[in-house]
């Protein structure tokens, strides 16, 4: 942790603790560009990106944010070069194995969401072990979207509800937003209050399409490996300047 990050262990005084987002979601973009811009292989950027995520998780915990959801690997990412995909799968597995003890010590509860069945068996085993061992922890909820696609999530929810209707367990008139949300991967989470995307890209890339309907969006040109506590501080300052009306007229 840098000197600046050490100084930001406690909540900065210019942030209102009563107006912090309860749930922050992040699209961690720019690892490859960060590495290539420095003459490194893209995989070095992914390694640095893991360090940035670990510090953001600790920062959220330090500052009283209840949940962090990170977009780690999308259903579209399989189209990347095979060498990079293989490295990412190995990296996920190694990080889980190495960090599980720390997550237990720090009371982190980790969950993985996405189409997990098609991940490598050894990675699935580490995912299952991490979720089982941290399942009773009561600290920050850390959700990792892996082999995740928002459209696929919605299709799977529709399919599950359709099967219930077909079996006569549910009437079509009973289907509402609350019931639909109970069939999403994120059933145990409140919707994100703040969605952060790094690297300046102005899109949500098939991430939490249902859940971010009313999230505040924050886009920064900072590449993910450089997204530190100071950058997160700026994102939260921007968030606290927003007027979250949820479709209503602002009160005078």
| Residue from 77, 137, 191, 206 carrying the catalytic annotation | 77
Catalytic annotation on 29?
yes
Report d(CA 110, CA 184) in Å as an integer: 17
Token output for 200? 């300046």
The alpha carbon of 49 is separated from its chain's Cα centroid by a whole number of angstroms, namely: 13
Q: Confirm if 91 and 47 have CB atoms less than 8 A apart.
A: yes
Q: Spell out the alpha helix ranges (H) of the chain.
A: 3-7, 31-36, 42-63, 82-105, 121-134, 150-166, 177-181, 229-240
Residue found by looking up tokens 């059933």 in the block: 187
Q: Confirm if 208 and 185 have CB atoms less than 8 A apart.
A: no
Closest listed residue to residue 71, CA positions, set 230, 213, 197, 236: 197
| Residue from 29, 55, 193, 228 carrying the catalytic annotation | 29
Distances (CA, A) of 85 to 147, 225, 250: 11, 18, 47
Q: Confirm if 144 and 111 have CB atoms less than 8 A apart.
A: yes
Distances (CA, A) of 216 to 15, 16, 28, 139, 204: 17, 17, 16, 24, 12
Helix, strand or coil for residue 64? Answer: coil
Token output for 132? 């089982």
So which residues are the catalytic ones? 29, 77
């Amino acid at each position: 942790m840098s000197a600046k990050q050490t100084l930001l262990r406690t909540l900065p005084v210019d942030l209102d603790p009563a107006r912090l987002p309860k749930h922050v979601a992040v699209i961690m973009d720019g690892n490859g560009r960060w590495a290539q811009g420095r003459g490194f292989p893209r995989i070095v950027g992914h390694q640095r990106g893991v360090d940035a995520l670990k510090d953001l998780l600790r920062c959220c915990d330090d500052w009283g944010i209840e949940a962090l959801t990170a977009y780690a690997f999308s259903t579209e990412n399989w189209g990347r070069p095979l060498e990079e995909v293989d490295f990412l799968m190995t990296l996920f597995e190694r990080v889980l194995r190495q960090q599980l003890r720390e997550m237990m010590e720090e009371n982190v509860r980790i969950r993985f969401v996405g189409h997990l069945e098609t991940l490598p068996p050894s990675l699935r085993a580490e995912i299952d072990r991490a979720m089982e061992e941290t399942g009773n922890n009561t600290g920050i909820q850390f959700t990792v979207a892996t082999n995740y696609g928002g459209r696929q999530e919605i299709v799977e929810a529709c399919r599950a509800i359709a099967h219930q209707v077909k079996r006569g367990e549910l009437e079509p008139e009973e289907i509402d937003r609350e019931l639909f949300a109970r069939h999403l991967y994120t059933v145990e989470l409140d919707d994100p209050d703040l969605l952060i995307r790094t690297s300046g890209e102005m899109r949500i890339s098939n991430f939490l399409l249902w859940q971010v309907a009313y999230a505040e969006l924050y886009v920064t040109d900072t590449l993910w490996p450089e997204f530190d506590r100071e950058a997160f501080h700026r994102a939260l300052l921007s968030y606290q300047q927003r007027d979250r009306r949820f479709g209503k007229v602002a009160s005078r």
